[in-house]
Amino acid sequence: MAYDFLGLTNDVNRRLNEVELTTTNFAATTGYYSFVKEAINSAIRHINQEEFEWPWNHVEEELTLVAGVSREPFPVDAKTLDMQSFRIQRSATLGNGTQYLKALQYEEYLEKYVDQEYDSGTANRGMPRFIVRAPSREFILTPEPDKAYTLTYEYYILGFDLVLAADVPSIPESYRHVIVNGAMYYVYQFRNDAQMANMSKQMFTEGIKYLRTQHINRSDYIRDRRVHF
């Protein structure tokens, strides 16, 4: 069975011995079948909300800066930005090398650099060296760019609902069973089967713990920076 919205929905139908859907009748479902589709999306949303930085929600973005514009909005689908990932790309056309942008706290920006937003002159513009997360879901570049540099950065998306039969989740197929277990929890609630709902919830919770162990929990290490002679 294909790993898509239709396939996941039919995974639930098979567990409950219900008639499976097809691409022909998938869009026009009502009643129980519509609830199963919503249950699949609810399970996916639940998984995505469990962590800010699931690796399958990682995105790399490129943005062409505008001279004199220091504030840029977050992408509309951004859950969290990796403030340690911002860099200006090397450009032979503009004559600049690659520049990593150091993250500053917003309060430090206000104390030292905010005047750039009120200075209409061009003397203080240049290639940005710092990046700031603003409270308004914007990031701020300082100095204000003087050229159309290409900014690259990374972020994690909020996730998305499946709509069409062929839509594929961002969660890898190897964790298909976790999505289905989550959907089963919601469907058993819909059927007022508390015992099976609790069993499915436990399996779903254990599945998320496994995902976290595999993809989030890390063993930090300290690099030895001593100089040996």
Q: What is the pLDDT of residues 112-141, one digit of tens each?
A: 999 999 998 999 999 999 999 999 999 999
What is the pLDDT, as a whole number, of residue 223?
Answer: 54
Asked if 42 and 186 count as a contact pair (C-beta separation under 8 A), the reply is: yes
Domain borders along the chain are 5-52+171-215, 55-157
**Which pLDDT band, with edges at 50, 70 and 90, does 83 fall under?**
very high
What gap in Å lies between CA 168 and CA 2, rounded to an integer?
9
pLDDT at 222 over 80: no
15, 89, 118, 151, 170 from 18: Cα distances, Å: 8, 54, 65, 51, 26
Mean pLDDT of 79-93: 97
Number of other CB atoms surrounding residue 25 within 10 Å? 12
Q: How far apart are CA 63 and CA 138, in angstroms?
A: 14
Average pLDDT over residues 40-50: 96
Tens digit of each residue's pLDDT (9 = 90 or more) over 53-81: 999 999 999 999 999 999 999 999 999 99
pTM value? 0.84
Using 50, 70 and 90 to split pLDDT, how confident is the model at 216? Answer: confident
Burial (CB count <10 Å: 0-12, 13-18, 19+), residue 150: middle
Q: Which of 14-18, 106-110, 197-201, 220-224 has the lowest mean pLDDT?
A: 220-224
Rounded CA-CA distance 73/86 in Å is 14
Which of 211, 157, 185, 183 is CA-nearest to residue 44?
183
Residue 229 pLDDT greater than 70, yes or no:
no
Q: Which residues, listed in sequence order, are joined to residue 63 by a DSSP beta bridge?
A: 151
Looking at residue 218, what is its pLDDT? 59
| Arithmetic mean of pLDDT over the chain | 94
What DSSP line would sit under 68-87, residue for residue?
T--EEEPPTTEEEEEEEEEE
pLDDT band at 226 (very low <50, low <70, confident <90, very high): low
